[in-house]
């Protein structure tokens, strides 16, 4: 009963935050609502018994993707008023795409059937291992080659993005290692015989003059320069 109540609470918050992601005027607020949506979706996964998917959703999407979106939105000087200027022009295209997605979801919901053995499977004893271990066994045994191929595709995509966005600026300085190692001693070292004091005279570097000594303070009359204020001598 408690799980059902929390299921509806998290579902309502998830739908409301997802609607605010696309309806908020401030992009920073949209990213914050997106983070809230991820947290509520992770809570639903925990209720469903898929704690591994919940942790992946929090660590990967909230800790990396959403924070990256937030940094990009806050650091880039993007004129969002100009971006929202074409909303009326592209509204029919967006409405058509939304209608197609709604029809697909409706068809999926109407064609959903529950197998007669679902109740029996729900009452069957749970396997001795958790879903995280079971998922790891499937990924790294049955689908290990597909898993490695997916990682290779992501690596190629990352390298391609770096190559396409890399720009060689003419003002930047680059290190030519081959030219540095090919230098000779004559190109890098020059021996000069300079006599003592020649360099100082040619460069005009002289020692600074010392300031004149400060005059000693004059003593009062009757003092005669003796220690009138001296402490008495102890014999």
C-alpha distance from residue 82 to each of 31, 71, 75, 202 (Å): 19, 20, 17, 64
On whether the pTM is more than 0.75, the answer is no
For residue 87, what are its two tokens? Answer: 């909303």
Residues listed for the chain = 235
Among residues 108, 109, 131, the alpha carbon closest in space to that of 54 is found at: 131
Among residues 148, 166, 132, 160, the alpha carbon closest in space to that of 52 is found at: 132
Which pLDDT score, from 0 to 100, does residue 173 have?
A: 72
Structure-derived torsion over alpha carbons of residues 175, 176, 181, 186, reported in degrees to the nearest 10: -90
Which pLDDT score, from 0 to 100, does residue 150 have?
A: 92
Percentage of the chain lying above the pLDDT 70 cut: 75
* Residue-wise pLDDT tens digits, 130-149: 778 888 888 888 899 999 99
Is the sign of the CA dihedral 29, 34, 35, 41 positive or negative?
A: positive
Q: What angle do CA 19, 23, 29 make, to 5 degrees?
A: 95
Residue ranges in the chain modelled with pLDDT below 70: 77-86, 122, 124, 126-127, 168-172, 197-211, 217-235
Rounded CA-CA distance 71/31 in Å is 10
Residue written as tokens 């969002």? Answer: 80
Rounded CA-CA distance 198/202 in Å is 6
Three-state SS for 164? helix
Structure-derived torsion over alpha carbons of residues 201, 205, 207, 212, reported in degrees to the nearest 10: 110
Residue written as tokens 């290779």? Answer: 152
Which pLDDT score, from 0 to 100, does residue 235 have?
A: 46
C-alpha distance from residue 221 to each of 127, 194, 214, 226 (Å): 111, 60, 22, 11
3-state secondary structure 84-117: HHHHHHHHHHHHHHHHHHHHHHHHHHHCCCCCCC
């Amino acid at each position: 009963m408690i799980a059902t109540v929390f299921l509806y609470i998290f579902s309502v918050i998830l739908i409301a935050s997802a609607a605010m992601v696309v309806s908020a005027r401030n992009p920073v607020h949209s990213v914050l609502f997106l983070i809230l949506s991820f947290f509520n979706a992770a809570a639903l996964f925990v209720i469903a018994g898929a704690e591994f998917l919940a942790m992946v959703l929090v660590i990967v999407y909230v800790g990396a993707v959403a924070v990256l979106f937030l940094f990009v939105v806050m650091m880039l000087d993007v004129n969002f008023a100009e971006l929202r200027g074409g909303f009326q022009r592209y509204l029919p295209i967006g409405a058509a795409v939304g209608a197609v997605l709604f029809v697909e979801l409706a068809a999926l919901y109407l064609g959903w059937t529950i197998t007669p053995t679902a109740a029996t499977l729900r009452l069957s004893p749970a396997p001795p291992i958790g879903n995280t271990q079971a998922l790891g066994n499937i990924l790294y045994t049955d689908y290990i080659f597909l898993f490695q191929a997916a990682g290779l595709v992501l690596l190629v995509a990352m390298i391609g993005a770096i190559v396409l966005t890399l720009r060689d600026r003419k003002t930047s300085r680059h290190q030519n290692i081959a030219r540095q190692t090919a230098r000779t001693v004559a190109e890098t070292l020059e021996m000069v015989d300079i006599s003592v004091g020649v360099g100082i005279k040619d460069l005009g570097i002289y020692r600074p003059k010392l300031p004149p000594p400060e005059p000693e303070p004059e003593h009062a009359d009757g003092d005669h320069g003796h220690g009138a204020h001296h402490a008495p001598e102890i014999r």
